Amino acid sequence: MKTVGKKLALVMLLSLIGLGLTVTANAQCASRAGAVLHHQSWQGSGTQFGSFLLASDRYEEDPIVGMWHVKFTAEGNTGSDAPPDGTPIDNAIVQWHNDKTEIMNSGRPAQDGNFCLGVWEKTGKSSYRLNHFALGNDTENAPSGIGNPAGPTRILESVFLTPDGNSYTGTFTLNAYSAANVRVAHIVGVISATRITVSTTVGKLLE
């Protein structure tokens, strides 16, 4: 039984090899005789497997890609109602994705709208620009705790990744708008971020 099985496997293997060698030659039979045999290209653009493999190599993972613990701190604001330097603005968990999108789990209360999204581009060897939007709820005037949708907030970030790829720093500009597209808040400040890994503990997020 083992001998028969081995023979059958050998026959099938030889048949597959022969099929791969003859596909190109058969396609050329109508044009000229004596066609040179070539291995069938399994990475060609006309095959399903080829397209899949090429797609996997199309994008190289950028060093900024990953999960981060990010702190936003007010700095350089002016005006009587402006937050003083050193005021914490947000303490968030952020993911930068290889498709140049970004998601942030803000430290804001969930009922206010604590998930927001952005898109990024690389502006230099280790520098990046992020355009980020948040949609919140008007909870101050809502007895139930979850009010009507408020106007959006836009956060622009310019950050620089350290050579070791484990942290980044930069600046941010936050502008919040009413539903009528009137700016109601303007905050500028600095950003500091550390990479989250499989070894990161809760204590690290609380530092």
165 strand-pairing partners: none
Distance of CA 155 to the CA centre of its chain: 17
Angle at 191 between CA 188 and CA 193, to 5 degrees: 165
131 vs 116: CA distance, rounded Å: 11
Beta-carbon contacts of residue 66 (< 8 Å; ≥ 6 apart): 95, 96, 195, 196
Predicted confidence at residue 35, as pLDDT, reads: 41
Full pLDDT tens readout for the chain, 207 residues: 545 455 555 545 445 444 444 444 444 434 444 444 344 333 444 444 444 444 444 457 899 999 999 999 999 999 888 999 999 999 999 999 999 999 999 988 776 778 899 999 999 999 999 999 998 766 666 555 666 677 899 999 999 999 999 999 999 999 999 888 999 999 999 999 999 999 999 998 988
Predicted confidence at residue 21, as pLDDT, reads: 42
Predicted confidence at residue 108, as pLDDT, reads: 80
Predicted confidence at residue 19, as pLDDT, reads: 43
Predicted confidence at residue 36, as pLDDT, reads: 43
What b/e readout covers 142-181, taking b as 16+ CB neighbours within 10 angstroms? eeeeebeebbbbbbebebbbeeeeeebebebebebeeeee
Residue ranges matching CATH 2.40.128 in the chain? 66-200
The number of beta carbons lying within 10 Å of the beta carbon of residue 92 is 19
Return the residue matching tokens 């968030």: 92
Predicted confidence at residue 173, as pLDDT, reads: 98
Sign of CA dihedral 90, 93, 98, 99: negative
Q: Which CATH number fits domain 66-200: 3.30.70, 1.10.10, 2.40.128, 2.60.120?
A: 2.40.128
14-22 contacts, C-beta under 8 A, 24 or more apart = none
Write the DSSP string, the chain: -HHHHHHHHHHHHHHHHHHHHHHHHHHTTTT-SSPPP----TTSTTSHHHHHHHHHTT-PPPTT-EEEEEEEEE-S--STTSPPTT-EEEEEEEEE-TTSEEEEE-SS-GGG--EEEEEEEE-SSSEEEEEEEEEEE--TT-TTS--SEEEEEEEEEEEEE-TTSSEEEEEEEEEEE-TTS-EEEEEEEEEEEEEE-TT--HHHHT-
